[in-house]
């Protein structure tokens, strides 16, 4: 039987090609987009795309049936257009929960205890020449931690926080069933109640720059902001202003508004820990994500049943 043709977009998880190469004919998306494929475009029934895939790109592929995204956030893929055309979009939830939650805790510890600055101090030889690193002004123990988002990853972050002797509460659009953490119906009320805010919400029109000057100010001068969701949710200018003014006490960020650009000013603060969007970036987790891409394509081609379709493009019931 001839192999199905799958188009791979640029900048993919390096393990995707490995898990697909034996079962599919793989085509790399040309620099000029799928429109540059010519007649070959009609062979493509599946695309693996990370970062984004527009309606125009979809329409250059007349027989496209499925777009598999090797990530849990699929905000760059035009799912409304996909739904209109009957194209299924899949993503890779759950397989990265632990890695991303671990990274959130690392950023929290780094920001509160200024461990990154302390390590840099040691590496620069300053311990020997200047003596002990200054005491960190804050501790994790006793903090009031608010989770903005309590989905798959948020719940893993919360369960990791429990042994840290902190108080945990959260804001989502609706309270989560079976969860004992205190619920806040608005982000403003959560921010008023806590001194530490961890963001793990998707990029949607409703989450744009919602972590603004008022929210940051509500956290208070001991306040710490951690963001492992999307840079889109934080007003970076307001964050820089709050850090400069001491309105909040520090931040730990894995994601930024215009990646890979990170504002110069953010890089200058010793009370800010910055990571280049690596929350899920380990070999085992990226392998797991690539395998779920393969399982989604296999499920689709074998029986019209991908494993993890996104809610915007539900799989039609079997006739």
Q: Kindly tell me which residue out of 5, 9, 247, 280 binds ligand NDP, with binding defined by CB under 6 A.
A: 280
Residue closer to ligand NDP by CB (options 159, 204) is 204
Nearest to 197 by CA among 150, 245, 267: 150
259 lies in the site for ligand NDP, by CB under 6 A: no
Q: Kindly tell me which residue out of 279, 290, 294, 297 binds ligand NDP, with binding defined by CB under 6 A.
A: 279
DSSP annotation of 133: P
User: Where does this chain touch ligand NDP (CB under 6 A) — which range of 25-33, 93-101, 159-167, 265-273?
Assistant: 93-101
Site string for ligand NDP, 224-253 (x = CB under 6 A): ----xxx-----------------------
Burial of 182 (0-12, 13-18, 19+ CB in 10 A): middle
119 lies in the site for ligand NDP, by CB under 6 A: no
Residue closer to ligand NDP by CB (options 134, 276) is 276
DSSP string for residues in 298-313: HHHHHHS--SSB-TTS
Find the residue with minimal CB distance to ligand NDP.
Answer: 151
For residues 213 and 238, the answer to whether their CB atoms sit within 8 Å is yes
> CA-to-CA distance for 114 and 227, rounded, in angstroms?
16
200 lies in the site for ligand NDP, by CB under 6 A: yes
285 lies in the site for ligand NDP, by CB under 6 A: no
- Which residues participate in catalysis according to the annotation? 230, 259, 277
Residue closer to ligand NDP by CB (options 41, 89) is 89
Length of the chain equals 319
Q: Name the residue with tokens 């689709």.
A: 300
Sign of the alpha-carbon torsion through 171, 99, 106, 123: negative
């Amino acid at each position: 039987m001839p192999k199905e043709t799958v188009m791979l977009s640029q900048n993919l998880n390096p393990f995707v090609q490995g898990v697909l190469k034996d079962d599919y004919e793989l085509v790399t998306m040309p620099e000029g987009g799928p429109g540059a494929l010519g007649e070959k475009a009609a062979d493509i029934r599946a695309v693996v795309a990370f970062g984004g895939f527009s309606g125009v790109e979809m329409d250059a592929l007349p027989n496209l049936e499925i777009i598999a995204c090797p990530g849990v956030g699929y905000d760059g893929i035009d799912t409304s257009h996909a739904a209109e055309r009957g194209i299924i979009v899949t993503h890779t939830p759950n397989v990265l929960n632990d890695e991303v939650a671990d990274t959130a805790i690392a950023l929290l510890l780094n920001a509160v205890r200024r461990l990154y600055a302390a390590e840099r101090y040691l590496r620069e030889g300053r311990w020997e020449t200047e003596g002990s690193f200054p005491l960190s002004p804050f501790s994790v123990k006793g903090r009031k931690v608010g989770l903005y988002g309590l989905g798959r990853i948020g719940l893993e972050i919360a369960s990791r926080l429990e042994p840290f002797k902190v108080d945990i509460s959260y804001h989502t659009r609706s309270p989560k069933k079976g969860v004992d953490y205190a619920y806040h119906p608005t982000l403003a009320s959560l921010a008023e109640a806590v001194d530490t805010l961890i963001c793990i919400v998707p990029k949607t029109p409703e989450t744009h720059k919602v972590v603004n000057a008022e929210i940051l100010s509500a956290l208070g001068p001991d306040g710490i902001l951690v963001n492992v969701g999307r840079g889109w949710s934080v007003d970076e200018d307001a964050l820089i202003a709050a850090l400069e003014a001491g309105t909040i006490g520090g931040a730990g960020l894995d994601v930024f508004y215009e990646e890979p650009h990170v504002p110069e000013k953010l890089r200058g603060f010793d009370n800010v820990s910055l990571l280049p969007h690596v929350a899920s970036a380990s070999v085992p987790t990226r392998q797991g994500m690539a395998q779920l891409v393969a399982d989604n394509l296999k499920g689709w081609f074998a029986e019209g049943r991908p494993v993890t379709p996104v809610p915007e493009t539900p799989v039609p019931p079997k006739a």
